Amino acid sequence: MTSILNKLAFHNSFSSLDDVFFSWVKPQGLWGVRLAHANPEAAQLIGLSQQDLETDEFLQIFSGNQVPAAFAPLAMAYSGHQFGVYNPQLGDGRGLLLAEARPANSESAAPFWDIHLKGAGRTPYSRFGDGRAVLRSSIREYLGSEALFHLGVPSTRALALFASKEPVQRETEETGALLVRMSQSHVRFGSFEFFHYTRQPEKVKQLADYVIDKHHPDLPDDDSRYPLFLQRVVLATAELIAHWQTIGFTHGVMNTDNMSIIGETFDYGPYGFLDDYIPNFVCNHSDHQGRYAYDQQPGIGLWNLNALAHGLSTLIDTDDIKHALSLYEPHIRDCFATKTRAKLGLTTEEEDDVVLATGWLQLLQDERADYTRSYRALSHFSLTGDNSALRDQFVDRDSLDQWLLLYSKRLEREGSVDENRRSLMCANNPKYILRNYLAQKAIEAAEQDNDFSEVDRLLTLLKKPYDEQPEFEAYAAAPPESAKGLELSCSS
């Protein structure tokens, strides 16, 4: 049988940078490692098939047991602001960039994908950590990243999840796991901060050129590229966070080392989707101040961009930085407004739409209504027919009826047709999201019984979050009261 390596083409671009950018690290495999789940859709991006994922070769190579010559495993150097405080010493403490690959038969413009292995042991950046990842958090990242991607939100992807028998000590003893993550870049805001604060402006420049050449090849080849690059990061970040807000996603740890330079959702820790609409929802149980609460995310995005801009201040002058950052607020507002109009089924723009949208959200907040279910129920609103299914979801029907009156008038003004609006709205208001209690059930089955069938089921269903899937109806139900708004710990 031919090696699966023959199906891949490699170009390990990050490893060709100076060695201050990373440390070479050999992955340390796990005792009793086995494939728990693999994702054929992500595999396809690098030209691997379902059969390839089931081979022993895939297990050995992608779990870090064997390092083929074409790989160049390394841990990246970075720092960053954690909860507002600068931490000069971060870096990949338990993650390795194994290689950058694409299908062997690719067209020349096809992107290379970072193959990143999380949980493969200590690195020079591990500080006091063990370099491991536990099964629970690996399952959460595996499912969360795919859920967001299929909701249409930029995200890293998940290729494979490996379980093991290796004990890993957290609050209690757990078992180690490995996650293979894919992205076109693992450069973070904090990567720039590291070289800025260690006073290596030439390295800041080298890193900026690396990212620009790879991701923004259309930018000019002179110093004007740097402010333009910052503008693009500002816009991409604004768009990403507008996306999070519209689907009710809370990242949980928006430290600058968890902010992707290409604007993807990155590093899934104690994230959470809103159940009830509680704007100041905090999913991270260690976030006592609510710094990363759901409704703080837009502001934190700008804070983080400020930190990035500071890291780039040897390349970009102050006026250009101010200008780039000034693009953030109008852009996130516009993106949010556009997405909210689609969620409300509006195809035209009126000045008062923001009042209409705010009224709806206020209603959800007053009712503590389920964010996802309410929008989905509204998608089935009829201008002429029966709306009892929607009304049944609300206690304060008078307030709902008042708002529906305004909404109906607004819909009539644009000649909205029930059927057309319903398809627009159902394509923008997911029926299925990865609620914490659903992830929790999958984790328990995996931890207790080595049973990954629930992981598989969730992945299947979350691939089509906007479709009706009658066989999965129960997964669209409101969570049991006891399982709402779970907070999760950072320890992973």
Single out the segment in contact with Mg ion by CB under 5 A; choices: 91-99, 125-133, 266-274, 343-351.
Answer: 266-274
Distance CA 217, CA 203 (A): 19
Q: How many whole angstroms from its chain centre is CA 234?
A: 17
Is residue 91 near ligand AMP by the rule CB under 6 A?
Answer: yes
Q: How many whole angstroms from its chain centre is CA 118?
A: 16
Which single residue is written with the structure tokens 């420049």? 205
Is residue 243 near ligand AMP by the rule CB under 6 A?
Answer: no
Single out the segment in contact with Mg ion by CB under 5 A; choices: 142-150, 257-265, 333-341, 352-360.
Answer: 257-265
Is residue 263 near ligand AMP by the rule CB under 6 A?
Answer: no
Is residue 86 near ligand AMP by the rule CB under 6 A?
Answer: no
DSSP letters along 217-276, please? TTS-SSTTHHHHHHHHHHHHHHHHHHHHHHHTEE-S---GGG-BTT--B---SS-EE-SB
Mark whether 257 is an active-site residue: yes
CB of 241 to ligand AMP, least distance (A): 18
Is residue 92 near ligand AMP by the rule CB under 6 A?
Answer: yes
Distance CA 276, CA 166 (A): 38
Comparison of 90 and 312: residue with beta carbon closer to ligand AMP: 90
Cα–Cα distance list, 447 to 135, 250, 443 (Å): 7, 25, 6
Single out the segment in contact with Mg ion by CB under 5 A; choices: 26-34, 236-244, 263-271, 469-477.
Answer: 263-271
Comparison of 128 and 470: residue with beta carbon closer to ligand AMP: 128
DSSP letters along 3-42, please? -GGGGEEE---GGGS-GGGEEE------TT-EEEEE-HHH
Q: Could you tell me if residue 407 is left (phi over 0), alpha (psi between -120 and 50 degrees) or otherwise beta? A: alpha
DSSP letters along 163-184, please? EEEEEEESSSEEEEEEEEEEES
Q: Which does 90 bind (CB under 5 to 8 A by kind): ligand AMP, Mg ion, none?
A: ligand AMP
Distance CA 361, CA 397 (A): 15
Q: Which does 378 bind (CB under 5 to 8 A by kind): ligand AMP, Mg ion, none?
A: none
Instruction: State which H helix or E strand residue 415 sits in.
Output: none
Q: Could you tell me if residue 175 is left (phi over 0), alpha (psi between -120 and 50 degrees) or otherwise beta? A: beta
Q: Which does 115 bind (CB under 5 to 8 A by kind): ligand AMP, Mg ion, none?
A: none
Q: Which does 131 bind (CB under 5 to 8 A by kind): Mg ion, ligand AMP, none?
A: ligand AMP
Single out the segment in contact with ligand AMP by CB under 6 A; choices: 88-96, 138-146, 337-345, 431-439.
Answer: 88-96
Selecting among 92, 114, 257, 275, the annotated active-site residue is 257
Is residue 258 near Mg ion by the rule CB under 5 A?
Answer: yes
The only residue of 52, 166, 174, 267 in contact with Mg ion, by rule CB under 5 A: 267
The only residue of 9, 55, 65, 130 in contact with ligand AMP, by rule CB under 6 A: 130
The only residue of 267, 276, 287, 370 in contact with ligand AMP, by rule CB under 6 A: 267
Distance CA 340, CA 327 (A): 20
Number of residues located near Mg ion, criterion CB under 5 A = 2
User: Pairing relation of β-strands 80-82 and 113-118?
Assistant: unpaired
CB of 144 to Mg ion, least distance (A): 14
Is residue 120 near ligand AMP by the rule CB under 6 A?
Answer: no
List residues near ligand AMP by CB under 6 A. 90-94, 125-126, 129-132, 253, 258, 267, 269
User: Catalytic residue positions?
Assistant: 257
